[in-house]
Structure 1
Amino acid sequence: MNNILKKLLGKNLPPLHRLRTGLMGLALCGFITACSPTPDPRLAAIAANDQPYNTGWQFFRSENALDLATAQQHQDWQTIQIPHTPKIEPLVVNEQFQGDAWYKKVITPEAAWKEKQIALKFEAAMNVAEVWLNGEKLTTHVGGYLPFTVNLTEKLKWDSPNELMVRLDNRDNPITGPKPLKDLDFNTYGGIYRSVQLQINNDLHITDAVAAGKKASGGIFVTYPQVSKEQAMVRIQTHVYNAHYDPKKFRVVQRLMDGEKVVADQTSPLLSITGKSDQENIIELPVTQPRLWSPKTPNLYQLVTRVYEGDSLVDEKTTRIGIREFKWVEGQLLINGEKTFLRGVNRHQEYPYVGYATSDAADYRDAVKIKSAGFDYVRLSHYPHSPAFMAAADELGLVLLDSILGWQYFSEDPAFQAQIQQTCRDLIRRDRNHASVMAWECSLNESWMTEPFIDSLTNIVHEEYPGSMSAGWQEYGYDIYLQARQHRLEHYQEPNKPYIVSEYGDWEYYAMNAGLNQTAWADLLQADRSSRQLLSDGEKRLLQQASNIQEAHNDNFNTPAFADGYWVMFDYNRGYAPDLESSGIMSIDRLPKYSYYFYQSQRDANEVSDKFASGPMVFIASEWNEHSSLDVRVFSNTDEVELILNGKIIAKQTPDQNNNSKNLKHPPFTFKVDKFAAGELKAIGYIDGKAAAEYKVVTPGEAARLRMSVDTSGKAPQAGVKDVVFVYAQLVDSDGDPLRSNNVPVNFSLTGSATLISPAEVVTSNGIASALIEIGDSLAGIKLTATSDNLPAASLDIAR
C-alpha cells in the first residue's frame, strides 16, 4: 500500500491534486481488494465533482429585448442566489413578468481545475437561454424545464477572471409551446429557478445522461431484467468518455449497497478506449431476496459506480435506485406481481410569490403533503418537475407519470415537433433511474395530434427505454390511454388498453363543456356547485367540493382504470384568469381543505409510516357553529365512528351506504344531529371495537391571540440553500381553540438571516394568515412576529 501511495503522491503534482490522488489509492484498497469492509468515508471528497454553484450571481430584468453589449453596460445589477425568480409576484398573478432576465457571474479558475474538464449544468432556466463567456457565445438552449450543460474547458482564461453572461427569454414561444400565457391554464414564470452545478471531471469520466446526447445511453442507465421476491437482476449500463487525445485503459466497478451492507459487487475486465471517444460498459448484478420498491414499501439501494484508470479512481457516481417491476395484465397494473390500484392527484409545482423558484426542501414538503393526503400516485402536470420532487417520490413511495410540456397546443411546424421530440428524449434520459417513474407522458396534454407525430413520440419512448410504457391523450398509438372524466362523460368507449382517469372532479362540476378548448367556458355552473372553492369559502362550499370529489372518485371505479388523478393538489395561478384556480384539496399556501381528509381516509389504517401522516384517522368536516350543517360528515378509515356532543353520545355507526360510496374503500360517516349546541363535538374512530383515533372541533369564542407554527412536513427549514418556508398565524380564543374568521389583517415582521417574501400584511383565510419566508445562511436568530388589532403580538423562533 505504501508503494502505491508513494507512486501516486508525485512531487510534481499540486498539493491538492496529490491529496486527492492519494485518497484514490486508499479507495482502491477498500473497494477492489476488499482490504477494508466498507468504502473509505473520504471518498466523498474525491467524488464531489458536481458542486452547487448558486451564489455570487448578479441579475437584472428588462421587458425589452437587449443585446449582449447593451446588457454588459447595464449599471443596476442586483446580487442574488440561485434558485431565483425574476420578479416576486403577487398572490394572484394577473400580469406575470415576461421579458429578458439577465444573469452574470465571475468565474475564477482554481488550481485544482487544471487539466480537468469544466462544465456548468443548469437544472432548468426559463425558457430560451443564451450563454456567453468573455463575450463569446457558447450555446443557445430552448425549453425551460429540463437541464442543459455548457462546457467551459477550452474557453476559460486562467490568468484572469472570466465573465459568464446568461440571457433568459420567457416570452411566449411557438417552438416550445404551449399556448400564449394569456390563454394558458397555468403560469410558466422565469429565471434560473433550479440549481446550477459546477462539474469538474477528469479526462476519463462518466458522462452526463442528458448532455451526452446518446440514444438509450449516456451516464448511468439501470434496468431490471428480472424481478421477484426471491431473485432480481440489476443491469447497469455505464457510458464513459475519454476527453484526452491519448488512449486509456480502465475498469468499471459496480457496488450495490443497502445502507452499510454490500449486497452485490462486480468489476469489469480491463477495457481500452481511444482518445476523444466514448464507450459503454454493461454489468449485471444478481440480488438474492431483494427488498423490492413499491408504494407501501419504498425500499431504496445505493448503487456506487466507480471508474479506475490504472490504480487511480478517476470518477464515482452514486445512484439511488429501487428494484421493482411495473407490468400490465388485461389492463390492470401489477407492481412486483401484486395487483395495484393507484389513487392519485395532479400537481403544479408553483409556490406563491416565487413561482417555480422553490428549494429542494420545499419540493420534499410538497411530496410529504401528497403522501399524507392518502395518495400513492402523482401525474406531473403538465411539464417535467424538479429532480428533488422526484427523489422525494422515490423515498416516500409515490408512483409518477412523467410528462413533457404541453397544454391544448399542437403545431405542424417541423421546428416545434423536433423540439417536443427532443424534450421527450431528454426527459427520459434525466429521469429513467427513478424508482417512482411508471410511464412516460410524451404527449401534448389535452391536444389533438397527428398520427405520425404520435408514432414518433411512442417510438422515442421505446427507443430510449426499451420495455417502458408510453402514455397519451389519444387512444391511438400510446401504450396507456389517458382520459379526463369530463371528456369521458361525453365521449367514453370501453378502452382496449391500460387506462388512467388522468383528471377528474373539477371541470365537470365547473362547466358542461366536455371539449378540449377550455377557453370556451360554455355553460358554467353555479359557484356553490363547483369544486373550485377557496379555503375561505366556508363550510358549505368546502363540503360541496368534498361531495363532488367523492362522487367522481367513486364513479372512476366503474371504469377499468388502474389509476386516477384528482385535479388538483394545490390551488394555483393561471395566465388566462384573474383569480386562483381553487380546485386544490390544499390552498396555494399548503393548508388543507375538507377534501384533503376525504382522501386521507381512503388509505387503510394498517399502513403506517414515520415519514408522513398515516395510520388510523378521523376528521369532522364542520366548523360547528350556528350556521353549520346538522348532517355532520366525518371522514375516517376506521370501522365505526362515535360522535359525541358536549359529552353526550349522538350515535355510534358504520360508514354510509349509498350510490356515491359503494365503490369506496372507506365511505364517510354522516350523523344526524337534532339541533346545534355550542361546545365540543368529538369523533372517536374504532377498529375491532377499540378506540383508534380521535378528533374534536370546538365552537370558538372571541379571538384572544395568535398561535404561530412553521411548516416542516418531514423537512425542517434549511439554512444556506435559499429554502422557502410557510409560517402560519392562527387566530385562537382564550382556550386555544381555532377561529375560522376570514379577512382579518395580520402584520408580519422578521429579524435574523431571512427575508419576508410575502407582503408584510396578510389577511386570514379560514382563520389563518400565511407568510412565506426565505431562509438565509443561518437559522440562529430568525424570529417572525405577527400582530393583529387588539391582540397581543406572537413570535416564532424558527430554529426551535
Structure 2
Amino acid sequence: MAGDERRLSRRGFLAAGGAALLGAVVAGSAGLAAPGPDSGLLTDFWLFGRYADGCTDAGFDEAGLDPVQLPHCVAPLSWTGWDPASWQDRWIYRKHFTATTAGRYRARFDGVMTNAAVYLNGTFVASHDGGYLPFEVELPGVAEGDNTLAVVVDGRWALDVPPNLPGASPAVLDFYQPAGIYRPATIGTVPRTRITDVFACPVDVLSPGRSLHVRCELERAVPAEVTASVRQAGRELARGSASMPAGGTAVELDVRGLDGVRLWDVADPALCDVVVTVRAGAAVLDRRTVRTGFREARFTPDGFFLNGRRLKLFGLNRHQWYPFAGGAMPDRVQRRDAEILRRELNCTMVRCSHYPQSSAFLDACDELGLLVWEEIPGWGHVGDDAWQRRNLQDVAAMVVRDRNHPSVVVWGTRVNEANGTTAMYAKTGRLAKQLDPSRPTSGALASTTGARYAGGDVEILAYNDYTARRGAPFRLRPPQPGVPYLVTEAIGTLAGVRAYRRTDPPATRQLQAELHAKAHDLAAADDRYCGLLAWCAFDYPSGWQRSVGGSKFAGVADIFRIAKPAAAFYASQGPPDVRAVAEPGFDWDFTAQPAGPGRGATIWSNCDRLAVFLDDRPVGDARSRRADFPHLPHPPFAVDLVVPRGQRPQLRIDGYAGGRLVVSRRFSGDRSRDVLGCTPDDPSLRADGGDATRVVIAATDRFGTVRAGTTGAVSVALAGLGELIGDAKLDFGATGGAAAVWVRPFAGPPGTLVLTARHDTLGTATATITTTATGKTAGTGS
C-alpha cells in the first residue's frame, strides 16, 4: 500500500498478530550475556518516530512511537515516485534491552543514513557523520537490568557530508538516499583486552613460498602471545605467532608454509579463515576470525590478469536501492543481488556505485567469485574543507572495513566524475595505499583530458564512456597507451533513449540489449581494455537528468530485480554446460505485434545451433549474428518470425551444444491460458526480525514466461506473524506484467507466512514461507 498506511503502526502490528510480542518491545527484548561484539543482533523491535524534545531521555513517553525492525527506512516508499521531503528530517529510534551481566558494552551500527547521535539511558554517548560506513560506540554506564538505547537519525540533505551538496536540491545527485538505521546493528559485551582489527594480506601468491602477513591491532593490551591460524575447508594449513609487549597496540606476524592453499578465483572462490587468538599464559583474552582469499589481481596496460591468467572483466554497476524500503533490506536480500549478478548475468565484476555497500553483499561476492570495484561516497562534485575531511575519513573506514575481502580488487578513491587533480585526490590515494598497499587505486572519470593516473593519484585510468549515441556508429574511446584502462560505465540512458522499461515498445527494449552487447564486444576486441562495467544492473530512484517520475530506468533488470531483454544478453554469455540459454529478445505476444516480431528477430543464446518451430512445425535454424558481434563468446541469433494475422501459434526454440540438445523452450501465443504466478526466492526464513525474501508476482503464459503486456491491478495480502514490504495494490500496466514484494517475519516464534495475490482476470496465487527459530537452518537461501 502507498503512503502512511504501510507504516507498521501499533494498531497494524497488533492486527498482524503482534500482541504476544509487544511485551518484548517495551520490557526488554535482548538479553546480553555472551562476550563479543556480535552477541546481540539489534534487529528485533525498536520504537520509532519523529524527533521531539526529550525523546532521548530515559523516561520519555513512548506512547506515540511505532514498533519497527532493523534494518529500517524512516519514510513509507512505493516502487517509484519517491519524495526526498518525506525523509529529510530528524528521527528517533529507541531500544530497550536487558543486560544480564555487568561488563563493558559496545554498540555497532553498520550504516545509518545520514548522521547519528547515540544516547544511553538519557546520556549522550557519541555521534557519527556519514551514511555508508559502520561505526562503533562505547556504552559506559550499562546497568544490570533494563537499559534504553536512543539513536537520533538526521536525514536532512543540508548536512555537509559526502555525497550531499548543501545549498542545492537532492536532485543534483543521481540517486536518492532515504534515511534510517538501514543496515544491521549489534550490541554486546567486549573483553578488556580486545582485538579491534585484523588485516590478513596474502604475499607472493603465485610463488611456492606464498605467505600471509597479519597485522593485528589491540585495545588495552597486556603482555600476550598472538597466534594466527590459517584454515581452509576446515583444515589448518599453517600458523604463526608473535609476542605483544606491555603497552603495545599492534603486532605483525607472518604465516608461512602455505604452498598447499587453494587460490581464490572467479571460477573457484576458495576462501580461508584466519583465526587470531590473544593469550596470556593459558587464558584466552580474545579471539577473532576473518576471511580472506589468496589471489593475485593485476591491472596492466595489456589488460587484467587474475592469478597470472588474462581475464576480460565483464560486468555492471550496482546501486543498493530497493522498492518500498530504500536501502533497508536484510542481509539475505543484499546477498541475492550478488547471486543475480554472478549466476544469472555471468558478471565477473561489479562496481559498487557510488559508495561502499552492504558487508553481506561483499561477503556473497567473496563466496561467488564476483570481483568488486569499491569506491568512496560521492558523485560529481567535491565539497568544502569540512566535506573533504569527511571524505578522507570515508577512505580510511572503507579500506579498513573491506581490505580482507578477496573480491575487492581496486579502491575508487576519486569522487565519481568529479574530474580534476585536486590535492584531495593525492591525499585519498596515498591514504588508501598506506592502509592497504596490496591494491591499486582509481576513480571513474567523465573526461580523460589531462587526467593524472600515476603516483599519489590513481593507478588505473577508469573512464565512464558515453560516446555512443543512437543513430551513429557505435564506438568506445580507445585505451590510452602505457596505462591500465577500464571502462567503468557505458550505455545507460545517454545513448538517445531516456528510459528502458518493460512497458516500452519492443524496439526500445531490444535496442538496450544490442547496445550492451556491442559495448562488451568492442571491449573484448582489444586486449588493452581491462574490461567494461556497463550502466547498470538495476533501475534506481533518482531525480537527476533523464529520470522519469523519480526513477532512472537504465537497468538491465528493473528495480524489482526482474529481467529485461538486455539481461538475456548477459545470461547468454556463460558456458552452456553450466546453464544453457535460449532467450528471445522479443515478446511472443500478438497484442502489440499482431504479425509477430517480424524478420531478423533476435534470440540470445549460448548454444551452437537453434532450431525454431511454430506449433511444432519447423521454421528452420536461426542464423548466427557472429558478423555483428565478432568478439563475444556467444553472439545472438536472428530468425524470421512473421505470423499471418489472426494466428497465435506456439513458439518452440531448441538449443544444441556439441551436437546435443541442451535446452528446449516453449512460448504460448494463447493469452486465454495465462496464469498468475507468486514465487518466493526462499521458502524458509529466520524468525529473528532480520530476515526477508523477495516474492515475484507475475502474469505468465502457461510455460512460465512473463507476459509483459498484461495490465490490471493485483491486490496483495500477507497472513501470519510478519510484515509485507510492498504496496497492497500493484499496477501491472505500469510495471510490465510483473512486480515483487518482500516478506519479513517478525522476531518471535516460528510459524508460517502466506502471501496471497489476486488479479481480476488471472485469478489468485499464493506463496507459503515457513519461519524457523533463531539459530536454526533457515531454508535454501544464502
TM-score band (shorter)?
0.7 to 0.9
Does the 8 A contact of 1:751 with 1:784 survive in 2? yes
Q: 1:148 to 1:693 in 2, by over 3 A?
A: same
Task: For residue 229 of structure 1, report the CA deviation from its aligned partner.
Answer: 7.0
Q: 1:71 to 1:583 in 2, by over 3 A?
A: farther
Counterpart for residue 316 of structure 1: 287
Residue 654 of structure 2, aligned match among 662, 673, 684: 684
- Whether 1:506 and 2:485 are equivalent positions in the alignment is no
**Paired letter, 2:522:** D
- Whether 1:699 and 2:687 are equivalent positions in the alignment is no
**Paired letter, 1:266:** G
Counterpart for residue 780 of structure 1: 751
Task: For residue 537 of structure 1, report the CA deviation from its aligned partner.
Answer: 2.2
SS at match of 1:728: strand
Query: 1: distance between equivalents of 2:106 and 2:37?
Result: 14
Residue 624 of structure 1, aligned match among 562, 567, 588: 588
- The alignment-based identity, stated in percent, is 25
Query: 2: distance between equivalents of 1:367 and 1:157?
Result: 39
Task: For residue 249 of structure 1, report the CA deviation from its aligned partner.
Answer: 2.6
Query: 2: distance between equivalents of 1:65 and 1:641?
Result: 69
**Paired letter, 1:58:** L
Task: For residue 598 of structure 1, report the CA deviation from its aligned partner.
Answer: 0.5
Task: For residue 492 of structure 1, report the CA deviation from its aligned partner.
Answer: 6.5
Residue 151 of structure 1, aligned match among 109, 128, 138: 138
**Paired letter, 1:139:** A
Q: Which runs of 5+ in 1 are unaligned?
A: 1-43, 208-218, 511-529, 609-614
- 1:614-650 per-position Cα deviation (integer Å, ceiling 9, x unaligned): x322212232233132222111112222222222222
Counterpart for residue 80 of structure 1: 68
**Paired letter, 1:501:** V
- 1:708-758 per-position Cα deviation (integer Å, ceiling 9, x unaligned): 21124xx95443243332223333567877543333111111111222221
Does the 8 A contact of 1:531 with 1:548 survive in 2? no
| 1:57-456 superposed matches below 5 A | 57-62=46-51, 72=60, 75-96=63-84, 97-111=87-101, 113-114=102-103, 117-152=104-139, 155-158=140-143, 161-172=146-157, 173-179=159-165, 180-207=169-196, 219-228=197-206, 230-242=208-220, 248-268=222-242, 270-274=243-247, 278-371=249-342, 372-411=344-383, 413-456=384-427
Query: 1: distance between equivalents of 2:207 and 2:618?
Result: 49
SS at match of 1:595: helix
- 1:571-607 per-position Cα deviation (integer Å, ceiling 9, x unaligned): 111134423211111111111111111011112335x
Does the 8 A contact of 2:524 with 2:531 survive in 1? no
Q: 1:132 to 1:381 in 2, by over 3 A?
A: same
Does the 8 A contact of 1:500 with 1:561 survive in 2? yes
Query: 2: distance between equivalents of 1:599 and 1:584?
Result: 12
Tell me how large the CA RMSD over aligned residues is. Answer: 2.7
Q: 1:680 to 1:196 in 2, by over 3 A?
A: same
SS at match of 1:365: helix
Does the 8 A contact of 1:65 with 1:100 survive in 2? no
Task: For residue 453 of structure 1, report the CA deviation from its aligned partner.
Answer: 1.6
Does the 8 A contact of 1:232 with 1:289 survive in 2? no
Task: For residue 704 of structure 1, report the CA deviation from its aligned partner.
Answer: 5.6
Counterpart for residue 506 of structure 2: 539
Counterpart for residue 737 of structure 2: 767
- 1:323-357 per-position Cα deviation (integer Å, ceiling 9, x unaligned): 11112333421111111111010000011011011
Counterpart for residue 775 of structure 2: none
**Paired letter, 1:728:** V
Query: 1: distance between equivalents of 2:720 and 2:58?
Result: 37
Query: 2: distance between equivalents of 1:791 and 1:508?
Result: 37
- 1:7-29 per-position Cα deviation (integer Å, ceiling 9, x unaligned): xxxxxxxxxxxxxxxxxxxxxxx
Q: How many residues align?
A: 703
| 1:722-733 superposed matches below 5 A | 722-732=690-700
Task: For residue 399 of structure 1, report the CA deviation from its aligned partner.
Answer: 0.2
SS at match of 1:535: coil
Task: For residue 794 of structure 1, report the CA deviation from its aligned partner.
Answer: 2.4
**Paired letter, 1:236:** V
Task: For residue 550 of structure 1, report the CA deviation from its aligned partner.
Answer: 2.0
Task: For residue 653 of structure 1, report the CA deviation from its aligned partner.
Answer: 4.8
| 1:356-755 superposed matches below 5 A | 356-371=327-342, 372-411=344-383, 413-474=384-445, 475-476=451-452, 477-486=457-466, 494-510=480-496, 530=497, 532-557=499-524, 560-576=528-544, 577=547, 578-606=549-577, 608=578, 615-626=579-590, 627=593, 628-630=596-598, 631-653=600-622, 655-658=624-627, 660-676=628-644, 677-702=647-672, 705-712=675-682, 717-732=685-700, 739-755=707-723
- 1:435-475 per-position Cα deviation (integer Å, ceiling 9, x unaligned): 10001001111113443221111111111111320011353
Does the 8 A contact of 2:37 with 2:106 survive in 1? no
Give every structure 1 segment of 4 or more consecutive aligned residues whose post-TM-superposition deviation is greater than 4 Å.
44-50, 64-75, 487-493, 732-738
Q: Which runs of 5+ in 2 are unaligned?
A: 1-32, 446-450, 469-474, 771-778
